[in-house]
């Protein structure tokens, strides 16, 4: 194919008579030239196509297509608008295809990335009407294509937990300009409206799931956001749908008064009415061991449906045992002072980082970096004293003792499967694991961790006397 460009106009060269023809992106001049000058060749092509079509017995057979590029070479002028709309347009090459029909012969122009890779139908460009309808569907916010793009943006905001202002960022706008130049990116207010509409639609679907399920479990907790010192109440629901565990957040409510059982009960009652949650279908309610929560649970569901949070109880066992042990508390205070000094001193942090790189140590734990920390602290009189070798051994033993608690906490803190049946087995396994870590040479560890081991040495069933009725009721309601 030969390309020519004359005064920003595309031109074509006939391969039969070598005549230069002007073209403005269509095939009118080219077709007229073929019909007037090379009419015989055109007739022979059409007659051969008719003969082939008549010899085939399959109805609706596509006639053979003759590429006019074998006769005429075209140097097209790239169309910016076409390149923005059609993904199949290529600015470097173009083919003209004549589709032979019994009565008429309509040529069409289409850009192609590769003639061998794309089928013949992909080489045919739509007519002018279809082209402008495609452009209009992208530039207009009411078109099908813009609605799909807006829906994808809304999903992006929701699934990746992005702020509404993300659609107004320069990077996002540049991305959309490169991907879909004619698309008008909606404002943050429009995205917020679409998110609210999505929430209303999905909430109706989730309410229907709640209405159909026979029983479900509720969990709720009160926590305080430390930056603004603002308290919130979070409520979640869990139930089985065809043996698949489904979970959802019913609400996160801002609290403005004292956290009494009556005040929290009012919020929960309104939330249950909004989501059509029947308290009769509640099989269990899982909260922490706070006295206010226990009173609230008894007022709403009675004593049989209360299940204290196992992970929260396990955390209380560890924290209270450490608080009662003066030796362990002193060790933690020493380590905390060293860590605070390193974080507050820029020079000390830089030196520690440099020594860590030189030594090839990638660990960030205190025990693994003890030798490097000693070198950094010894050169600074204002630094706190480094722990002794005996203290370091005790820290290692305490970490080994607490590993089982970490494993149990991670195992019980799942949201894709039911963990209620693992409470007693994990408790017994944790007891056996912790007792096996204590040896006769760890006398000091036994002394100041005796309070932590003592509760685990008790009968695991006795630790959960308050849960017996709830367990029986949950298994046999």
Tell me the pLDDT tens digit for each residue of 51-69: 555 554 444 444 444 444 4
CA-closest candidate to residue 379, choices 409, 352, 408, 397: 352
What is the reported pLDDT for 124? 64
What is the overall mean pLDDT for the chain? 74
Distance of CA 290 to the CA centre of its chain: 34
Distances 326 to 321, 353, 442, 455 between C-alpha atoms, Å: 10, 32, 17, 18
User: Between residues 113 and 224, which one has the greater pLDDT?
Assistant: 224
Residue that is written with structure tokens 């706190």 in the block:
384
Is 183:176 a contact under the CB 8 Å cutoff? yes
Asked whether the predicted pLDDT for residue 15 surpasses 90, the reply is no
Is 213:186 a contact under the CB 8 Å cutoff? no
What is the reported pLDDT for 131? 64
The mean pLDDT of 81-107, rounded to a whole number, is: 37
What is the reported pLDDT for 9? 58
What is the reported pLDDT for 109? 40
In angstroms, the CA 477 to CA 475 distance is: 6
The mean pLDDT of 247-270, rounded to a whole number, is: 92
Distances 31 to 79, 93, 128, 233 between C-alpha atoms, Å: 21, 19, 17, 75
Indicate the burial class of 145 (C-beta count within 10 angstroms; 0-12, 13-18, 19 or more). Answer: middle
The mean pLDDT of 327-348, rounded to a whole number, is: 92
The mean pLDDT of 368-387, rounded to a whole number, is: 90
Asked whether the predicted pLDDT for residue 78 surpasses 60, the reply is no
190-205 burial, b for 16+ CB within 10 Å, e for fewer? bbeebeeeeeeeeeee
CA-closest candidate to residue 233, choices 213, 257, 209, 212: 257
What is the reported pLDDT for 406? 87
What is the reported pLDDT for 259? 92
Is 408:430 a contact under the CB 8 Å cutoff? yes
pLDDT band at 429 (very low <50, low <70, confident <90, very high): low
Q: How many CB atoms sit inside 10 A of residue 38's CB?
A: 17
Asked whether the predicted pLDDT for residue 6 surpasses 70, the reply is no
Question: Quick one: what percent of the chain has pLDDT higher than 70?
Answer: 66
In angstroms, the CA 138 to CA 81 distance is: 12
pLDDT band at 240 (very low <50, low <70, confident <90, very high): confident
Q: Which three-class secondary structure state does DSSP give residue 474? A: helix
What is the reported pLDDT for 63? 43
What is the reported pLDDT for 420? 74
What sections of 28-169 are H helices per DSSP?
A: 28-37, 39-55, 80-85, 128-139, 144-159
Is 275:286 a contact under the CB 8 Å cutoff? no
The mean pLDDT of 34-50, rounded to a whole number, is: 74
The mean pLDDT of 177-185, rounded to a whole number, is: 88
What is the reported pLDDT for 98? 32
The mean pLDDT of 268-293, rounded to a whole number, is: 91
The mean pLDDT of 406-424, rounded to a whole number, is: 79
The mean pLDDT of 234-246, rounded to a whole number, is: 88
**Which stretch of 181-185, 238-242, 404-408, 430-434 has the lowest confidence by average pLDDT?**
430-434
The percent helix, strand, coil of the chain (3-state, each to 5) is: 55, 15, 30
Is 99:86 a contact under the CB 8 Å cutoff? no
Q: Which three-class secondary structure state does DSSP give residue 69? A: helix
């Amino acid at each position: 194919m030969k390309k020519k460009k004359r005064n920003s106009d595309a031109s074509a060269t006939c391969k039969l008579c070598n005549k230069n023809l002007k073209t403005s992106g269509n095939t009118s001049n080219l077709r007229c030239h073929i019909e007037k000058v090379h009419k015989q060749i055109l007739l022979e092509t059409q007659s051969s196509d008719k003969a082939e079509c008549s010899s085939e017995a399959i109805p609706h057979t596509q006639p053979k297509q003759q590429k006019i590029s074998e006769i005429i070479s075209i140097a097209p002028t790239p169309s910016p608008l076409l390149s923005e709309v059609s993904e199949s347009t290529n600015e470097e090459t173009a083919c003209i295809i004549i589709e032979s029909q019994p009565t008429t012969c309509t040529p069409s122009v289409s850009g192609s990335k590769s003639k061998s890779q794309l089928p013949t139908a992909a080489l045919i460009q739509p007519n002018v009407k279809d082209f402008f309808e495609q452009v209009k569907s992208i530039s207009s916010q009411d078109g099908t294509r813009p609605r799909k793009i807006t829906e994808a943006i809304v999903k992006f905001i929701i699934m990746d937990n992005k702020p509404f202002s993300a659609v107004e960022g320069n990077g996002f706008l540049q991305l959309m300009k490169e991907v879909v130049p004619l698309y008008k990116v909606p404002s943050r207010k429009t995205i917020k409206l679409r998110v609210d509409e999505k929430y209303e639609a999905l909430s109706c679907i989730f309410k229907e799931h709640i209405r159909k399920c026979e029983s479900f479990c509720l969990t709720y907790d009160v926590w305080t956001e430390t930056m603004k010192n603002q308290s919130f109440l979070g409520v979640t629901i869990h139930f089985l749908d065809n043996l698949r565990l489904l979970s959802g957040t019913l609400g996160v409510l801002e609290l403005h008064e004292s956290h009494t059982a009556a005040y929290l009960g009012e919020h929960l009652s309104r939330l249950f009415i909004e989501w059509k949650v029947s308290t009769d279908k509640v099989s269990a309610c899982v909260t922490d061991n706070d006295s206010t929560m226990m009173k609230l649970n008894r007022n709403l569901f009675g004593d049989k449906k209360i299940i204290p949070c196992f992970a929260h109880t396990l955390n209380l066992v560890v924290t209270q045992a450490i608080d009662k042990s003066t030796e362990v508390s002193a060790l933690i205070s020493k380590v905390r002072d060293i860590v605070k000094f390193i974080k507050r001193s820029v020079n000390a942090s830089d030196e520690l980082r440099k020594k860590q790189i030189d030594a090839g140590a990638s660990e960030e734990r205190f025990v693994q970096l003890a030798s490097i920390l000693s070198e950094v602290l010894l050169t600074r009189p204002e630094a706190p004293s480094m722990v002794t070798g005996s203290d370091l051994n005790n820290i290692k033993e305490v970490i080994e003792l607490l590993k089982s608690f970490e494993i149990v906490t991670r195992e019980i803190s799942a949201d894709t499967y039911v963990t209620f049946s693992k409470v007693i087995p994990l408790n017994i396994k944790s007891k056996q694991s912790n007792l096996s870590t204590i040896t006769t040479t760890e006398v000091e560890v036994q002394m100041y961790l005796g309070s932590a081991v003592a509760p685990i040495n008790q009968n695991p069933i006795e630790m959960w006397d308050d849960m017996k009725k709830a367990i029986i009721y949950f298994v046999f309601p």
